[in-house]
Copies of this chain bind each other. A is one copy, B any other.
Amino acid sequence: MKNIPGSMGTCASIALRLGQAICSSSSILFMSLGVGFYSYTAFCFLVTIMGLVIPWSFTLALLDGYSILAKFPIHQSGMLQVIILGDLVLSILTLAAASSTASIVDLLLKADVSFCPPRICSRYQISAAMAFLSWFLSLTSSLTNLWLLPSLDAD
């Protein structure tokens, strides 16, 4: 049970973490390059949450890399609980931010071209899509680690 692909200390976990960091970074970049994102609360919320996800994912990717290279398995129940909780909270916040952004972009597209020129609006859309991708990867990490937890408690 201790080698579930995607749980901490596996190569799949590094891939998931790097995926999260890349998706979050591109989400922030596409949003920040658009002019005037700070006039919408939902867009500011997205940038804030993505700004939290990037260091979290990057740190855990480094931890995974160290764990694989030094052959030091991270299977302490307490540490894993903190990681699962962090992933769960961040994935909930990411989903909320991504769906808020998507709904605002949808409204702006319907409302008027002056609110959202096509060039800017497509950036917002890509940003929301990247945030959804980041959410999916976060949830996958969280669930695979949660799956590992009972087998650790049983030891």
Tell me the A residues contacting B by CB distance below 8 Å.
Answer: 40-42, 92, 95-97, 99-104, 106-107, 110, 146, 150, 154
Chain B residue with the shortest CB-CB distance to A107: B104
**Stoichiometry, copies per complex:** 2
Secondary structure at the A interface, as helix, strand, loop or mixed, is helix
Nearest chain B CB to A16 CB, angstrom units: 18
List, in ascending order, chain B residues with CB within 8 A of A40's CB: 107
Top 4 closest pairs, chain A to chain B, by CB = A100-B103, A150-B150, A96-B99, A42-B103
Please name 10 pairs of A and B residues whose Cβ atoms are closer than 8 Å in the assembled complex, sorted by A. A41-B107, A41-B110, A42-B107, A95-B95, A95-B99, A96-B96, A99-B100, A103-B103, A104-B107, A154-B154
